[in-house]
Chains A and B, each alone.
Chain A
Amino acid sequence: MELSLLNAFIAVFIAIAFVGANAAYLVWWERKGAGFFQRRPGPTENGPWGLLQPPLDGIKLMTKQLLIPGGVDKAIFMVAPVLAMFPALVSFVTIPFSSSIQAHTIEVGVLLIFAFAALGSMSLLVAGWSSRNKYAMISSIRAVSQTVAYEIPLLITTITVVLIAGSLELSEIAAAQMGGIWNWYIWPFQKSAGFNIFMPISFMIMFICSVAETNRAPFDLGEAESELVAGFHTEYSSMGFGLFFMGEYANIVIGACLITILFLGGWACPFGDLGFFPFTHHVGWFLLKLYLIIFVFVWIRWTFPRTTIYGLLNLSWQYMIPLSLFNLLLTAALIKVFA
């Protein structure tokens, strides 16, 4: 696709709309999911099945006063929520929703997403730092050590997949998994992976890291409300808080997109190439997988209690990093031998 100004504009517009709609309605989805797990109906008052809740919440947040507490570092305080939202938006540019729907093909798409994900954790740091609040400060320190611990296994696992697919481009990684559910990288004994038996473990590592990376329960140490009140966004009100909130959900979508593309074949139809069937390899499959993964995120959040920060770091440094490194080396060796 030729990158004209108009194309870029349309792409950005669609990306923002998609992120906005997702962030808003994932909150609804989360609340309905929570209701489902907790024997209660969830939001019902506004609109059918409470479907008008997200826009009304948005209006409420926008009309509230934006309080800036005395003594904060004002410039950084104001920049932090924007920093939380913006990397997630940019990352959407590289996500291929199907073979034809992708804002811009970037040869190093995987790298770009991780670069911007790192920038996202920066926002937590500066938000906690500038808030002049001890809870926010503790929270931001936790969030940073958590991100450092979890980006390493996440990256190593991604490199494993990149090694198998032979490309850093997300659409090519997905395209390499076409032709039926058995070609997805989640399964063991892939020929392209050199019959590696540990691929499901890679998937698990990727999944756990995505939960931790997006600061969600049971790894929501950054905003552990029973300890740190609201964590790094304790002092934020109005849309400052709203942007953090939307940024969190946008990051969840990015994480789920990555899992879908790297391990579940992206837009690939699980039944392989059915010539007569009109919807093989369609964006619908991508969205189905995406929202299934998000549902599992919601499920986990409303089932497990929170871990502690040392438990989390131990899990990462003692188990996930050695395991993912081992798997990377094994995959490299197996590919050399078999593929």
Chain B
Amino acid sequence: MNQMDLIELQPDETFVLNVGPQHPATHGVLRVKMTMDGEYIYDAETVLGYIHRMHEKMAENRTYAQYMPNMGRLDYLSAMAFNHGYALVVERACGIEVPERAEYIRVLTVELNRISSHLVWLGAFVLDLGGFTPLMYCFDDREYILDLLESITGSRLTYCYFRFGGLYNDIDEPFIEGTRRFVKRMYKELKMYAKLVTGNIILMKRLRGHGIIDQNMCQRYGATGPVARGSGINYDVRRNEPYSVYPELDFDIPVDDGCDSYARYLVRMEEMVQSLRIIEQILAKLPEGPINPAKKPKIIKPPPGDYYAAVETARGNFGIRLVSDGGKNAYRLKLRSPTYSNMHLFDEACRGMLIADALAFMGSLDLVIPEMDR
């Protein structure tokens, strides 16, 4: 938008509407300062920092093992993938080998967690659009995943399941049986969602053609995950920079050229199906063996250097850069979290939208505030 357009758009009278930090649509403590022209947004400014906890600084004061639980507190909906990212970078730094069974179980839990995260997103998104019932269905389904993961990890939300080189706990027969039953159930439930939500005419009218983000904008802001894939960018860390056992598994990366909220919606729905496929494959070929490496340093002290690892969380590319000086604590730990980039699209993309559409658009970005603020 150039200067001339801005002058032409300049309305006679505007008012400032503070959406948040306490507002039902922001799902947390995000604040959006909107300059409104009636019900149309003339300008918006997202304000962060209401839940900043200095996670990056904490890494410099804690040992590597002590910092592991922090990873569950970033993105509380997709904590397992964040565990994975941190375990991955430290393993790369120290050169720890992970047993094959542990790798499979890692991917299994991460994908289960991805489905539960997408289920919360689906419920909250339709809630933003004014439909309350899908939220209940989603939480009902998610409950199965949480129960399953609780039985092996001991926690329901802020998991600390991964260890450097392996896992805290092996999975057992009831877990595998329960996962099989869940996969069967989830296929049926997804069909129901397709009937109840995807095909709903009101939903389509509210999402199609609204919240347009083009590829250029995605690249400028560094958007990743379903937001970028909804704009036709075929980028998924699991495929582009493979890690763990993802190369051995058969799954598709859903991409949609729609660029609108509906495209992002469809991408996430399809991702749930793909995660189910991954889970089915893992259950079929889960190898026997140990879940922790035989040889592992007692105290984690990565050699001095600069290390990087990235994983695909439910919201996109989570990159973690570790600079070590050879000590017991990290010298510097930089977290690159997906929704921090995804959110900053909002300021530019929501200009000229109705407030109702803008909040639906915000819902389609799937924001998790503690992960942005860190």
A interface residues with partner B (beta carbon < 8 Å): 34, 37-40, 134-135, 138, 142, 217-218, 220, 224-227, 229, 302-311
Contact = CB atoms under 8 A, between A and B. Distances in A.
Interface stretch (B46-54, B133-141, B282-290): B133-141
A193 B15 CA distance: 52
A134 B17 CA distance: 7
Contact of A306 (B15, B39, B129, B140): B129
Contact of B202 (A138, A225, A229, A307): A307
Given A225-B24, A226-B24, A229-B24, A305 B136 contact: no
Contacts of B217: none
Contact of A304 (B23, B25, B39, B131): B131
B325 interface: no
A308 B24 contact: no
B354 A308 contact: yes
A224 B355 CA distance: 11
Nearest to A142: B39
A137 to B, nearest CB: 9
B47 to A, nearest CB: 17
A225 B130 CA distance: 8
- Contact size range, B: 20 to 34
Interface in B88-134: 126-133
Interface string B334-374: 00000000000000000000111101000000000000000
Interface in B17-53: 17, 23-25, 39
Contacts of A38: 132-133, 136-137
Contact of A217 (B15, B23, B130, B354): B130
A309 B354 contact: yes
Interface of B: 15, 17, 23-25, 39, 126-133, 136-137, 140, 196, 200, 202-203, 205-206, 354-357, 359
B354 A305 contact: no
Nearest to B136: A38
Contact of A305 (B23, B130, B137, B359): B130
Contacts of A39: 136-137, 140
Given A39-B140, A226-B24, A307-B206, A134 B131 contact: no
Given A303-B196, A305-B203, 11 more contacts: A34-B133, A38-B133, A39-B140, A138-B39, A218-B202, A226-B24, A226-B25, A303-B131, A306-B130, A307-B205, A310-B354
Contacts of B25: 226-227
Contact of B355 (A227, A303, A304, A311): A227
Contacts of A307: 202, 205-206
A226 B128 contact: yes
Interface centre among B137, B200, B356, B359 (most CB of A within 10 A): B356
B206 A229 contact: no
Contacts of B39: 138, 142, 309
Nearest to A301: B132
Given A226-B25, A227-B25, A304 B202 contact: yes
Contacts of B140: 39
B131 A308 contact: no
| CB-based closest 6 A-B pairs | A306-B130, A305-B131, A38-B136, A305-B129, A226-B25, A226-B128
Contacts of B359: 226-227
B202 A226 contact: no
B129 A226 contact: yes
Contacts of B127: 226
24 contacts: A37-B133, A38-B133, A38-B137, A40-B136, A134-B15, A138-B355, A218-B130, A226-B127, A226-B129, A227-B25, A227-B356, A227-B359, A302-B133, A303-B133, A304-B200, A305-B129, A305-B131, A305-B202, A305-B203, A306-B130, A309-B39, A309-B356, A311-B205, A311-B206
A309 B130 CA distance: 13
Contact of B126 (A220, A229, A305, A310): A305
A302 B127 CA distance: 11
A305 B356 contact: no
A303 B132 CA distance: 8
B137 A220 contact: no
Contacts of B205: 307, 311
B209 to A, nearest CB: 12
A308 B357 contact: yes
Nearest to B131: A305
Contacts of A302: 132-133
A308 B356 contact: yes
Nearest to B201: A304
B130 A226 contact: yes
A142 B127 CA distance: 20
B250 to A, nearest CB: 34
A35 to B, nearest CB: 9
Contacts of A40: 136
A303 B137 CA distance: 12
Contacts of A227: 25, 355-356, 359
Best-buried of B127, B130, B202 by chain A (most CB within 10 Å): B130
A49 B76 CA distance: 36
A138 B357 CA distance: 15
Contacts of B129: 226, 305-306
Nearest to B134: A305
Taking each of B127, B133, B203, B359, which has the highest tally of chain A beta carbons within 10 Å of its own beta carbon? B133
B280 to A, nearest CB: 26
A249 to B, nearest CB: 18
Contacts of B126: 305
A216 to B, nearest CB: 11
B28 to A, nearest CB: 14
A151 to B, nearest CB: 21
Contacts of A134: 15, 17
